[in-house]
Chains A and B, each alone.
Chain A
Amino acid sequence: MKHLLDFEKPYIDLQRRLEELREQPEETDVPLDIGDEIRQLEEKIEAKKRELYSNLSAWQRVQLARHPQRPYSLDYINKTFSGFSELHGDRLFHDDHAIVAGFAMLGERRVMVVGTQKGRDTKENIKRNFGCAHPEGYRKALRIMGMANRFGLPIVCLIDTAGAYPGVAAEERHIAKAIAINLREMTLFSVPMISVVIGEGGSGGALGIGVSDRTLILENAYYSVISPEGCAAILWKDRAAAPQAAEALKITANDLHELNLVDEVVPEPLGGAHNDHNAMADTLRDALLRNLNELEQIDPEIRLQERYAKYRRHGKYIEG
């Protein structure tokens, strides 16, 4: 069954009617007016969708970013990329399935791809820990990115996590340090690096595989210092104020692009990425290849300087 969001209802009712019409038994003498009605309905739905999706609130986009049918990292790895060959483990402790990594082809290019991975059902979510990585996930990512760097493979990171996992074991194995080390080391890798927020960009857990030459974000993804619920709980003393918090935090792709906090917004199919995985995967491939082409034109030393300068620019203050 298709998962419906509240705000999708206005056109879903029309969609149902359209389906009913289409499902009428095919007869040789289909009256012409049904065909007309179908066409009219289709136009109406398209118009309704355009209106709806061009005016989404921050909170509605958060819901789209968390949509259970939204493509996850492995969906892109299998559709945007090809020939994925997964690599495992941090060589220290464990293979964290909340992060996947390995060799893949992007068009004609060989690259290294890393991504946080959510599960689609309970069983897979337990395996993937709902896409919330432990320290060993970040260490696996670093080990594999380090290898890519040594052998000159560009790195693409796909981000879709509510955050790094807040648990006792994660603290005991020093999740904070695992993220911090990634931030430091990813600054210094001399190969081209692109990160894409494909769904949820949950704070330090997202940034932990997010340092890059180009930061892309899908149209309905979000990237935030804290979850809207967490912010609402602290500042509004009420998790139900999450919609207000989402608005105040300026976490949508367009807001972040306006604030120069991301480099590019990748458009989604009408109605969101979950409506057409293949189209979304193709759009993302085009965006990745275009950025990769540009980055490869730049001298590695300059590219590193530009990467540093990019993060250096982030921040608003008055010198006084």
Chain B
Amino acid sequence: MVPPMADTPKKTLGLETVEPAVTPPTDVEPAIEKKPVSPGTSRKREIPQGLWTKCPECGEMIFDKELEENLKVCPHCTHHFPTTAWDRINALTEPESFQETEADMISVDTLEFTGTAAYADKLEKHKEKTGLKDAVITGIGRMGDHEVALGVMDFNFLGGSMGSVVGEKITRIIELATERRLPAIVISSSGGARMYEGMFSLMQLAKTSAAIAYHGRQGLPYLSVLTHPTTAGVMASYASLGDLIISEPKAMIGFAGPRVIKDTTQSELPEGFQTAEFLMERGLIDSIIDRTEMKARITEYLDYLCLNLKKG
């Protein structure tokens, strides 16, 4: 028997089903979408449209203002709704303290990628949809007494995929942290490397990891925060390199997509596979922290990790 060739797909242990640093951004709920309640279904009295959201976990109706104030965490069951990069930045940093860096950097369609849809069109569509220029926001802000270099990914922009812009912005903010002797924090949310930029995307794994290598060598702390979902190329680079690795509850975290693993191994996946809780049980992350506690806990971590940094 010869090893499988391209035109003979294999069902078992095989090459054909290997899906590397990219995971399709499927089966992930879109960022918080107002689900107007149709009058008369769940409640007797009439509810004004758009003011309430039903929690998909516990089924409770949540007043939108309350949900926003609670950082899009269900006040009844602590289900974490998807959120945006800007909401995270506002929740984590002291008011008015965040100074964005590389705010205008945008992606280019170097490969002139046209599949079923052109990359250039996709970019435009997502810019319009999200109001963002790409899938990460970077900058310097303050958390408690600590000045921090911060990178926050946004899953709503092309599934948080990492192409040249994400890689470059993360690299620059880490380099800035090294230069200014600041702790760095990256909050990840990503389906992996951005296919439309081919090998340029894969090389962002090496580039960002290299920047972190030199940041760490200067004795500076780097914290990685994983949110739903963080997978593939981003997990195989900066998201896994934190001195501390923290996750939001129930976030899906992994390298290969669950469907790929199932297809490749032809076996059932264990209960809770690739959740934050699964990773913590196996000793792969430091802690699971509710979004509502995130700022306080990270600030506390920094109090320890930056103890000698300040004196220096």
Partners in one complex: yes
Interface size counted on chain A using CB atoms at 8 A: 85
* Cα(A227)–Cα(B111), bound, Å: 16
Given A172-B282, A183-B210; A225-B201 close (CB under 8 Å): yes
Please determine whether A187 and B209 come into contact, CB atoms closer than 8 angstroms: yes
Q: Which residues of B contact A126 (CB under 8 A)?
A: 13
Q: For the complex, is A167 an interface residue (Cβ under 8 Å from B)?
A: yes
Chain B residues within an 8 Å CB radius of A207: 202-203, 205-206
Count residues on chain B whose CB falls below 8 Å from chain A CBs: 82
Contacts of A237 in B (CB 8 A): 116
Q: Is A125's CB within 8 Å of the partner chain B?
A: yes
- How many Å from the CB of A189 to the closest CB on chain B? 10
Closest CB in chain A relative to B258 CB, distance in Å: 9
> What residues on A are CB-neighbors of B105 within 8 Å?
317-320
| B207 & A312 in contact (Cβ 8 Å cutoff) | yes
Q: Hey, which chain B residues are within 8 Å of A231, CB to CB?
A: 22, 115, 195
Q: Which residue of A lies closest to B256 (CB)?
A: A166
Q: Are A261 and B203 in contact (CB under 8 A)?
A: yes
Contact between A235 and B22, CB atoms less than 8 A apart:
no
Q: Mark B178-221, 1 if CB is under 8 A from A, else 0.
A: 00000000000000010101111111111101101110110000
Q: Please name the 7 residue pairs, one residue from A and one from B, whose CB atoms are nearest each other, closest first.
A: A203-B20, A320-B104, A166-B256, A315-B164, A314-B203, A183-B209, A176-B235
Q: Which of A59, A68, A171, A211 contacts B255 (CB 8 A)?
A: A171
Question: For the complex, what is the distance from the CA of A129 to the CA of B14, rounded to whole Å?
Answer: 8
Q: Point out the residues of chain B lying under 8 angstroms from A244, CB to CB.
A: 115
Q: Which one of A119, A205, A261 contacts B199 once the chains associate, using CB atoms below 8 Å? A: A261
How far, in angstroms, from A312 to B165 measured CA to CA in the complex?
12
B interface residues (Cβ-Cβ under 8 A, vs A): 1-3, 5-6, 9, 13-22, 24, 102-108, 110-111, 113-117, 133, 164-165, 167-168, 171, 193, 195, 197-207, 209-210, 212-214, 216-217, 232-233, 235-241, 254-257, 260-261, 264-265, 267, 269-270, 273-274, 279, 282, 284
A-B pairs with beta carbons under 8 A, tally = 274
Neighbour of B256 across the interface among A131, A171, A229, CB < 8 A: A171
Q: Which residue of B lies closest to A309 (CB)?
A: B210
Contacting B at CB under 8 A, from A160-195, are 162-168, 170-172, 174-177, 179-181, 183-185, 187-188
Which A residues touch B108, using CB under 8 A? 316-318
Of listed A66, A179, A244, A317, residue having the most chain B CB within 10 A:
A317
CB distance from B39 to the nearest CB of A (A): 38
Bound Cα distance A251, B20 (Å):
14
Alpha-carbon gap, A317 to B199, bound state (A): 14
Residues of A within 8 A of B284 (CB): 174, 177
- Min CB distance A202 to B, Å, is 5
Q: Collect the chain B residues with CB atoms within 8 Å of residue A234's CB.
A: 22, 24, 195
Q: Are B202 and A168 in contact (CB under 8 A)?
A: no
CA of A211 to CA of B213 in the docked complex: distance in angstroms?
13
B18's nearest neighbour on chain A, judged by CB, is A163
| B115–A235 touching, CB < 8 Å | yes
A125 close to B3 (CB less than 8 A): yes
Residues of A within 8 A of B264 (CB): 165-167
Q: Flag if A227 contacts B255 (CB, 8 Å).
A: no
Q: Are B256 and A318 in contact (CB under 8 A)?
A: no
A256→B18 contact, CB < 8 A: no
Contact A177 B19 (CB under 8 A): no
What's the Cα separation between A76 and B148 when bound, in Å? 48
With contacts A171-B255, A249-B195, A251-B198 taken as known, whether A239 is within 8 angstroms of B238 at the C-beta atoms is no
Tell me whether B20 and A202 are in contact (CB under 8 A).
yes
Contacts of B24 in A (CB 8 A): 233-234
Measured CA separation A61–B147 after assembly (Å): 51
Known: A63-B5, A167-B261. A132 touches B15 (CB 8 A): yes
In the complex the two chains form, what is the Cα distance from A181 to B106 in whole Å?
29
Q: Please pick, from A118, A132, A261, A311, the residue contacting B210 in the complex, using a CB distance under 8 A.
A: A311
Known: A130-B13, A183-B209, A315-B200. 20 other contacts (CB 8 A): A3-B2, A66-B5, A68-B5, A164-B18, A164-B256, A165-B264, A167-B265, A180-B209, A180-B241, A187-B214, A188-B213, A207-B205, A230-B19, A230-B260, A231-B195, A234-B22, A248-B198, A250-B199, A314-B207, A319-B102
Verify B233–A261 contact, CB threshold 8 A.
no
Return the contact of B6 from the options A62, A230, A236 (Cβ within 8 A): A62
A183, B19: Cβ atoms closer than 8 Å: no
A residues near B116, Cβ cutoff 8 Å: 235-237
* 21 A-B contacts (beta carbon < 8 Å): A3-B5, A66-B6, A166-B265, A168-B267, A168-B273, A180-B235, A185-B213, A188-B217, A200-B15, A202-B20, A224-B202, A227-B16, A229-B6, A231-B115, A241-B115, A312-B207, A314-B203, A314-B204, A315-B164, A315-B165, A320-B104
